Amino acid sequence: MSATSSAPDLGASGLLDAYRARVRHDASGVAAADLRHPAPPVTSVSDELVDGSAVRPEAIDLAETIESLGAAGLMARRAAVRRLVQDDGITYGSGSEGAAGRQWEVDPLPLIIDAAQWAALERGLDQRARLLDLVLADLYGSQRLLRERRIPAAAVLGHPGFLSAAVGTRLPTERQLFLHATDLARSGDGAWVVLSDRTQAPSGAGYAMANRRLIARSMEGLHRSTGIRRLRGFFDRMQLALDEVAPHTDDRPRVVLLTPGVWSETAFDQAFTATLLGRPLVQSDDLTMRGGRVWLRTTGRLEPIDVMLRRVDADYSDSLDLRPESRLGVPGLVEATRRGVVSVVNPLGAAVLENPALLPYLAEVSRTVLGEDLELPHAETWWCGDDVARRHVLARLDQLVLRPISRASGRPHIFGWELSAAELEDHRRSIEAQPWAWTAQEPMPLSTAPIVTPSGLQPRSLVLRTFALAEGGRYHVMPGGLGRVATEANSLLVTNQTGALSKDVWVLSSPDAEHRERDRTDAGELGRVRLAPQPAQTRGITLAPRSAEDLYWCGRYTERAEATTRLLVVADNLAADNINRPSTPGFSAMTATLQAVTEVTTVRPGFTGVGAEDRLAHPFEHLRTLLTAPDVVGSVAFYARRAGQTASDVREQLSSDIWSVLSRLDRTLAEALAEGSESQIQPVGAKSLESLLALSGIVAEGLVRDSTWAFIDAGRRIERAQVITRLLRNTLAIERPPIVDGQLTEAVLRACDSVITHRRRMAAGLGPATPIGSAVDLLLLDGTNPRSVAYQMDRLGEDLSIVPDVRLATEIREIVTMLRAVDIDEVCQGGRLDLVDLLIALEQRLRSLADDIEATHFVHQAPQRSFMVAELMGRR
């Protein structure tokens, strides 16, 4: 960063000149005629890129990059970011019926903060975290602040985040507030102002790291040339902090991240954070309470939990002491924390600090408990539980921002000037009925930051979320954070729920900052060495049954997608060659293959049953549906989507390379679906196979041979064995004229990627003499062929030896013995009825083995319930 270089002349750039004009225009606010009531007076709004006619010194390099790229270059960068987001599978929000949430939106232009400005902000954030930590400890401890009326009791006790069941609980460390997030805005004079605190289960740190990776790739030149603070050290610190907060243990503490599940709005953030920390992501079903302790259920044993990084709201964390109907937590968790056998962070009850009713009292509390004046101001706030404050609020209701003290009550912000007279009256009555439940604030002007749009740079209101972590007795602030900008001009509402765009936040380095950051990284590395167990103590990485099941089915779904794609490509090729040649051997082979497609995919109606004659006469539309229609159970697109969903459920277990491959596969099939009848099965199938083979390669070469590998590979092996068996039963096990048999044999071998080996063996005179016998031997009994049933059983035995189970091992040995006893020449004689019987018996054994794998390793708990009294639950 050339801090001393002169600011570019905005007039020399069309983009920057136009942006300056838009900033000036938007700073004037929305016309009063557009509102139901005149807008409150708004002070001048600052911008993060320009200051008057000049570029801010810290943003000079960014402005030069904007000039050099131009409108077309910026739009290309925006498209690149969106493609990377899709490739990485970054989502926000929850979808429906198995769909993922909406795609995460990131603007390619980073928010840049000067080192000196950040240092001042960092001091204020450190102070605020220390202050709220002391408030939290007091509210769940001596409650001196309530007794001395420095904080009104009604403001605390009336907030749903205050949990009386948690009073008296304490973490075994000096700091009780583990992670603190703060939403900030920059006022017209350039000062940062607090909008709100997030202490329940703060989200966004994972998104911040994901944004950094995206912008580092899409704006590579600017990223490399700019001296910015790195984010990775914050997560290294979190590793240390999680170990530090654990109760005493002779081993390295067992830490998990508790998630509500894949339907959580911030599911990606949770999974990515777990990946960065190398800690397992668990759900309620993965945990159980035994002997007053929390245990992780794994496929091999129960393991004690020492620390729980909580992303489930506190009142849902324990159905025994808190919300009885919850299925997201562990009954008895409150008692376990009270006894000190498990540390939950943030602590149960920390959400009380998100209460805006505390804001009017924090300045005085800071002077009382810290002996310091607040360094970071907040918007002027009135709590309506105070009579004087309430009268002030009611007199100016149409000029203020109303905020219920609980975010769970509905709209977090209500702008009085946007309400009708009737709506104002309704809110007036609500405030008078429950004054303790309401606060009001002066409107806070937000600074703007540029976003890239098709019409050039546009200024949008900005909110910055920062993160502070307690470790080593002090707070460490992430050198950056999560920037969010509104989607509409002049909007004061900037939330992820309303579709806000996000920004990477670059904090410029100074020599001192670099020195501190280097010290932090060294401390993190030394901490890991110090806390790592000795080799003799190292525990194998184990999986919860839910995670093992997701991995297993991810393997099965990807194998189904690959097998179906191969079969469809072969069937389409046969149909293209023979559809207009009835009464020929090729036509008969085509018909047999198409019918096998239906029997293998089990998608009905198909090429057998009702309406089969018409579909056999015009097969291409149905084949295309089986390839590209995601809503058809049994199609390639359906299995690709399910593979992506199961992989997302265990994101923290898998290589990051998987997501770009899955994304490419999804795009290939979606584009083909959009083309409709214009899409061609051969090229779409070929591109799909490229992605599926790449996925197989990543799994084969990118995963350590532990339980993660074992279950995903076991899924592939059991699925491939079943598909091959079903395909043989519906093709080669049925005797046909020799010429038809020959063509059908070739088709089956191509679908199983074994035709070249078959031809070479037949030419060399190796193996059974007949083509049918050779093909059946190659696909059923040949332990050296990766596409044979025998090979799958050998590999499956190796997979399950990693998670040993005597009964399953016995079943696999029995199937292997059954295959070794087969006489190929004998079963392929006499109308092949013996082959049919063999394949039916084998299919039953494989199905039974699959059922037993699930029953052994994927056992789900019955819902963990507390005893509930109907009257207490509001029912009669």
Of all residues in the chain, what percent carry a pLDDT higher than 90? 80
pLDDT one-digit tens code per residue, 451-476? 999 999 999 999 999 999 999 999 99
How much is the pLDDT for 407?
79
Give the pLDDT band (50/70/90) at residue 531: very low
User: Looking at the domain assignment, is residue 99 inside a domain?
Assistant: no
What percent of the chain lies above the pLDDT cut of 70? 90
Domain membership flag for residue 271: no
Q: Shortest CA distance to 138 belongs to which of 376, 350, 431?
A: 350
- Tell me if 778 is assigned to some domain: yes
How many domains does the chain divide into? 1
Q: What is the pLDDT of residue 573?
A: 97
851 falls within a domain: yes
Q: What is the pLDDT of residue 515?
A: 47
**Model pLDDT, residue 98:** 46
Confidence of residue 861 (pLDDT cuts 50, 70, 90): confident
Query: Rounded to whole angstroms, how far apart are CA atoms 405 and 707?
Result: 46
The confidence score (pLDDT) of residue 728 equals 98
Radius of gyration of the chain measured on its C-alpha atoms: 32
Q: Does residue 452 sit in helix, strand or coil?
A: strand
pLDDT at 7 over 60: no
Q: Is residue 831 part of a domain?
A: yes
Q: Determine which of 331-345, 537-551, 684-698, 710-724 has the lowest per-residue pLDDT on average.
A: 537-551
Better-scored residue on pLDDT, 539 or 761: 761
Rounded mean pLDDT of 763-780? 94
pLDDT score for 537:
36
Asked whether the predicted pLDDT for residue 115 surpasses 80, the reply is yes
pLDDT at 865 over 80: no
Confidence band (pLDDT; 50, 70, 90) for 513? low
Predicted pLDDT at 38: 56
**Per-residue pLDDT at 41 exceeds 80:** no
Residue matched to tokens 């990223």: 223
Would residue 838 count as lying in a domain?
yes
- CA–CA separation, 720 and 846 (whole Å): 11
273, pLDDT greater than 80: yes
Residue 599 half-sphere exposure toward CB, CA atoms < 13 A: 16
Query: Is 797 a domain residue?
Result: yes
Phi, psi angles (nearest 5°) of residue 250: -80, -15
Q: Specify the pLDDT at position 498.
A: 72
Query: Looking at residue 655, what is its pLDDT?
Result: 87
Predicted confidence (pLDDT) at residue 147 exceeds the cutoff of 50: yes
| 835 CB-near residues (< 8 Å, 6+ apart) | 728, 732, 733, 776, 827, 828
Is the per-residue pLDDT at 313 higher than 50?
A: yes
Quick one: pLDDT at residue 753? 96
Q: Please give the Cα distance from 137 to 144 (Å, whole number).
A: 10
25 falls in which pLDDT band (50, 70, 90)?
confident
Strands 456-471, 438-441: pairing is unpaired
Query: Across all residues in the chain, what is the average pLDDT?
Result: 90
pLDDT at 635 over 90: yes
Asked whether residue 581 is domain-assigned, the answer is yes
Q: Which residues fall within 8 angstroms of residue 701, CB to CB, at 6 or more apart? A: none
Check whether 871 has a pLDDT greater than 80: no
d(C-alpha 184, C-alpha 293), whole Å: 39
Q: Is the pLDDT confidence value at 869 over 50?
A: no
| pLDDT score for 134 | 98
∠587-591-597 over CA atoms, to 5°?
Answer: 145
* pLDDT value at residue 514: 52
**Is pLDDT at 804 greater than 90 in this prediction?**
no
pLDDT average, residue stretch 129-148: 97
Please state the rounded mean pLDDT for residues 168-177.
96
Residue that wins the pLDDT comparison between 536 and 452: 452
Per-residue 3-state assignment (H helix, E strand, C coil) for 218-273: HCHHHHHHCCECCCHHHHHHHHHHHHHCCCCCCCCCCEEEECCCCCCCCHHHHHHH
Instruction: List residues bridging with 102 in a β-sheet.
Output: 92
Structural domain that includes position 643: 545-856
pLDDT at residue 301 tops 90:
no
Query: At 493, is the pLDDT very low, low, confident or very high (cuts 50, 70, 90)?
Result: confident
More confident residue, 751 or 860: 751
Note the pTM of the prediction, 2 decimals: 0.90
pLDDT grade for 516, boundaries at 50, 70 and 90: low
Among 236-250, 482-496, 582-596, the least confident range? 482-496
Which stretch of 165-169, 390-394, 407-411, 522-526 has the lowest confidence by average pLDDT? 522-526
Mean predicted confidence (pLDDT) in 663-683: 95
Strands (E) in 416-542, as ranges, are 438-441, 448-453, 456-471, 474-477, 482-485, 501-507
What is the band of 526 on the pLDDT scale with cuts at 50, 70, 90?
very low
Task: Find the helix or strand (DSSP H, E) in which 531 lies.
Answer: helix 511-531
Please calculate the CA angle 325-329-331 and round it to the nearest 5 degrees: 75
